[in-house]
């Protein structure tokens, strides 16, 4: 993990106090529900696994079993942890605590945002999303970087050669968890339209200060159903149907669509 902790400090400083209601670390997704500002909110983050401590006396999540007893901001501060599963918990808690600004949200899927801005242009997608086959014929050229490449993908190690080609750069927010986001952003051309996408995305205007133009993330609307789904290993396609709303917001440099 290479991202400096300082990147997360403005996000952490913006958070209100909250009471932790539930922590679920699922097979694919981590969810944290908090009581904040008089209501219950839930945040999601990609679960980053770490099997290296499975059979040791140094667990990946030292406070497992009592996480729900910790204040929500203490959980959010786990984004600073050197342990990937704890970073996932921290990102989910951070997303749960972020103050909502529905007036800035547009109900549109990231695929549609990329397709409209990528028509006739070179799009570099960091992370293989399920919509790749549908997106490819809608843009000028699509290059996909993936840590575990599928047929047609390029390895993540090719980022330095591929990202400067992007007219439109779309980066999975899972890079905030594995702390590669800053390094990827440093490779882009200054004129490239840049999106951060996926359920892990913090819907905070603070991220626009890092050079992102559009945030495409998620809002959990049916919290009990989504918590239940996460605890039972649901994929995001399943969670979406259970009660997750897909939204995008823009920096103001250009419209979302």
> Domains plus CATH for the chain?
5-100 (3.30.390.100), 103-222+234-250 (3.40.50.11590)
**Which is more confident, 94 or 54?**
94
pLDDT tens for each residue of 160-191:
999 999 999 999 999 999 999 999 999 999 99
pTM for this structure?
Answer: 0.92
> Residue 233's CB: how many other CB atoms inside 10 A?
12
Q: Work out the mean pLDDT of the chain and round it to a whole number.
A: 92
Measured CA angle at 141 (ends 136, 142), to 5 deg:
55
Question: Residue 35 has what pLDDT?
Answer: 98
CB 60 within 8 A of CB 14: no
CA distance 86 to 34: 17
CA-based nearest residue to 51, from 64, 61, 66, 38: 61
Average pLDDT over residues 67-94: 96
Indicate whether 19 pLDDT > 90. Answer: yes
Indicate whether 4 pLDDT > 70. Answer: no
Do strands 168-172 and 193-197 pair parallel, antiparallel, or not at all (unpaired)? parallel
CA distance 81 to 8: 11
Question: Residue 21 has what pLDDT?
Answer: 98
Question: Residue 58 has what pLDDT?
Answer: 77
């Amino acid at each position: 993990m290479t991202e400096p902790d300082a990147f997360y400090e403005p996000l952490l400083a913006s958070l209100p106090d909250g009471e932790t209601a539930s922590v679920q670390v699922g097979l694919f997704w981590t969810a944290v529900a908090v009581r904040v500002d008089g209501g219950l909110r839930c945040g999601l983050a990609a679960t980053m696994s770490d099997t290296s401590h499975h059979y040791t006396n140094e667990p990946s999540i030292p406070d497992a079993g009592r996480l729900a007893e910790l204040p929500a901001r203490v959980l959010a501060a786990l984004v600073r942890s050197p342990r990937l599963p704890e970073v996932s918990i921290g990102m989910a808690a951070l997303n749960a605590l972020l103050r909502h600004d529905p007036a800035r949200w547009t109900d549109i899927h990231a695929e549609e945002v990329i397709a409209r801005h990528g028509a006739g242009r070179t799009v570099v997608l960091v992370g293989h999303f399920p919509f790749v086959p549908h997106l490819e014929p809608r843009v000028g050229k699509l290059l996909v970087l993936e840590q575990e490449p599928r047929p047609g993908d390029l390895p993540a190690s090719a980022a330095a050669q591929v990202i400067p080609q992007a007219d439109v750069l779309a980066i999975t927010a899972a890079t905030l968890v594995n702390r590669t986001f800053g390094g990827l952003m440093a490779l882009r051309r200054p004129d490239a339209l840049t999106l951060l996408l996926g359920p892990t995305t913090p819907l905070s205007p603070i991220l626009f200060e890092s050079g992102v133009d559009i945030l495409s993330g998620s809002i959990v609307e049916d919290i009990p159903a989504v918590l239940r789904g996460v605890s039972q290993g649901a994929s995001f396609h399943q969670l979406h149907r259970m009660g997750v709303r897909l939204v995008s917001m823009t920096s103001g440099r250009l419209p979302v669509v």
